């Protein structure tokens, strides 16, 4: 049965955010920074979702692709019991992230690596309980998307989580015409059709792809 969808407009967004636990001053400051400087980042609702997913999954460690200024890394670090490694291409943002994480008391639990995410995946080894991809809007082509998914799956332990932000591409994934929307659509197809994954897209903000690697 197909039910009528509820459009999450600004009023509902504000309502849902009003029900969240109060964020600490450091997180609130970074939220203002993200908004004022138009920095791409997850919102507090997505942050709480990531936190709860990791808590429920009892994740020990996380690999994040795309740091920006460290906002999502804070949620990931507070949700897992161990360490977060996060990869950021832009040196200035990586430095901002390190400072923000230090201010949040997480400097010893989050390692910010400067460099290309695909290159990092190719030259490093070791499995983690969760890979969070925050680069769906940044891939140059579908071949890079496919390579990223392949490399990410190789880094997951059995039962691990593969998560991604911006899985709905502002609605353009329904009829993808731009390079960006085609890349996101390709990611979604790969995740949905992978026999070793169980997955769903949560229509929160711009969509959160949630997948689990089967045991």
Please report, for the domain that includes residue 37, its CATH number. Answer: 3.40.50.150
Structural domain contains residue 2: no
Query: Domain range spanning residue 175?
Result: 10-213
Does residue 1 sit within a domain?
A: no
Number of structural domains (the chain) is: 1
Q: Which residue, among 66, 79, 77, 80, has the nearest Cα to 152 in the 3D structure?
A: 66
Tokens of 110: 């989050």
Dihedral (CA of 92, 94, 100, 102) sign: negative
3-state secondary structure of 152: helix
pLDDT 10s digit of each residue in the chain, 215 long?
454 444 567 899 899 999 999 999 999 999 999 999 999 899 999 999 999 999 999 999 999 999 999 999 999 999 999 999 999 999 999 999 999 999 999 999 999 999 999 999 999 999 999 999 999 999 999 999 999 999 999 999 999 999 999 999 999 999 999 999 999 999 999 999 999 999 999 999 999 999 999 99
CA torsion 40→137→164→213, rounded to 10°? -160
Do the bridges between strand 62-65 and strand 110-114 make them parallel or antiparallel, or are there none, so unpaired? Answer: unpaired
3 assigned to some structural domain = no
Assess if residue 5 is contained within a domain: no
Residue 85 falls inside a structural domain: yes
Give the pTM: 0.94
> Looking at the domain assignment, is residue 116 inside a domain?
yes
């Amino acid at each position: 049965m197909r039910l009528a969808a509820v459009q999450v407009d600004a009023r509902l967004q504000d309502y849902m955010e009003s029900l969240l636990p109060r964020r600490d001053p450091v997180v609130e400051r970074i939220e203002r920074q993200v908004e004022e400087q138009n920095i791409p980042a997850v919102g507090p609702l997505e942050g709480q979702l990531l936190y709860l997913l990791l808590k429920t999954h009892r994740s020990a460690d996380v690999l994040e692709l795309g740091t920006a200024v460290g906002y999502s890394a804070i949620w990931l670090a507070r949700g897992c019991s161990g360490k977060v490694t996060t990869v950021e291409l832009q040196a200035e943002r990586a430095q901002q992230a390190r400072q923000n994480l230090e201010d949040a008391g997480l400097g010893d639990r989050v390692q910010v690596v400067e460099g290309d995410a695909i290159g990092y995946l190719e030259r490093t080894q070791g499995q983690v309980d969760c890979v969070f991809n925050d680069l769906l809007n940044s891939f140059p082509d579908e071949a890079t998307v496919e390579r990223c998914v392949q490399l990410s799956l190789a880094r997951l332990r059995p039962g691990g989580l593969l998560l991604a932000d911006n899985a709905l591409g502002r609605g353009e994934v329904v009829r993808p015409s731009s390079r960006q929307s085609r890349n996101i659509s390709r990611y979604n197809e790969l995740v949905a059709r992978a026999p070793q994954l169980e997955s769903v897209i949560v229509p929160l903000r711009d969509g959160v792809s949630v997948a689990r690697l089967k045991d």
